[in-house]
Amino acid sequence: MSRDSQHVLLVLVGGVLVKIVADGSYLRYVRPWSAVPVLAAGVVLITVAVVGIVRDLRGRAVVDGHDHGDGAGPEAGHDSRAGPSAWMLVLPVLALLLVVPPALGSAAVGGVGARAAPVSAVADDPLPAGEAPALGLLDVVSRAAADPFGQVTTREVTVTGFLVPARHPPPGTATVDLARWVITCCAADAATVRVHLADPQGQLRDQGPGGPEGDRWVAVRGRVVAGTGTPADGHVPTLAVTSWSPVATPDPVYEY
């Protein structure tokens, strides 16, 4: 790879990093706080490429204006070419420019198990005021893990997630679970949290997970069944459904 190609590639990589921050698509891959370092990395790469281009142009101007009879030019004795492996950087650039990988969704769940929610003091935190307050799915799972007979079993809450096929559903629950991806740093360390859906009224009888058209996001109102969400059931509590409604894909799509 020539020096000119290296400069162009740096500009492309840096430009892609700036682009995904500008249009918000970086949230498909990393947490919100990563916007600054990703943007900074893109600006640095572009700056390095521009500085390199300027230096090369000046060096060529010096060579063109002087006769180096001994062949000792500004870059004499230096190999300015990178190995073939440098072209591998083109792959992520093309992926982000042409393919635009989506955020993880129901299709990526597959055989991935539920995230083991840590027991924490969150169970002691009062629920937000109002009727059926909105809680994150990870919050619900964590509260149930901390206290299987806590506040989420005595009050109705509203949780949002996408529908996935139920995995080892308890008797009397629906054929779908409500799930959400949780990331600690980036999509590479993502894990799922989910709840089973007890549906005595059959409201979800004809509802299935998303297909080729995308995930099926819903907001479910209900109450956690007391005694569920423990290590015995893999930290997958059961939510008794009161009502539900389809919703648009949330932004950001992940929980943290």
Look at residue 168 in the predicted model and tell me its pLDDT: 82
**pLDDT top residue among 15 and 73:** 15
Look at residue 78 in the predicted model and tell me its pLDDT: 46
**pLDDT top residue among 54 and 69:** 54
| Sequence-distant (≥ 6) Cβ neighbours of residue 10 within 8 angstroms | 45, 46, 48, 49, 52
Look at residue 100 in the predicted model and tell me its pLDDT: 73
Of the chain, the percentage scoring pLDDT greater than 70 comes to 81
Which of 108-112, 130-134, 184-188 is the least confident region?
A: 108-112
In the DSSP assignment, the letter for residue 99 is I
For residue 241, which of 226, 225, 221 has the smallest C-alpha distance? 221
- For the chain, give percent helix, strand, coil, nearest 5: 40, 20, 40
Task: Say how far apart CA 203 and CA 229 lie, in whole Å.
Answer: 22
For residue 197, give both structure tokens.
């859906």
Task: Say how far apart CA 228 and CA 250 lie, in whole Å.
Answer: 27
Look at residue 101 in the predicted model and tell me its pLDDT: 78
Please state the domain extents for the chain: 3-101, 107-246
Look at residue 217 in the predicted model and tell me its pLDDT: 95
Fold designation for 107-246: OB fold (Dihydrolipoamide Acetyltransferase, E2P) (2.40.50)
Residue 130 has, within 13 A of its CA and on its CB side, a CA count of 7
Q: What is the pLDDT of residues 79-110, one digit of tens each?
A: 455 556 666 767 777 777 777 778 888 888 86
| Average pLDDT of the residues in 189-204 | 90
Q: What is the pLDDT of residues 27-60, one digit of tens each?
A: 988 999 999 999 999 999 999 989 988 888 887 6
Task: Say how far apart CA 72 and CA 247 lie, in whole Å.
Answer: 68
| Sequence-distant (≥ 6) Cβ neighbours of residue 108 within 8 angstroms | 181
| Average pLDDT of the residues in 171-187 | 89
For residue 150, which of 172, 135, 130 has the smallest C-alpha distance? 135
Phi, psi angle pair for 187, to nearest 5°: -65, -20
Look at residue 42 in the predicted model and tell me its pLDDT: 92
Q: What is the mean pLDDT of the chain?
A: 83
Chain-centre distance of CA 14, in angstroms? 21
Q: In this model, does residue 219 exceed pLDDT 90?
A: yes
Task: Say how far apart CA 141 and CA 66 lie, in whole Å.
Answer: 73
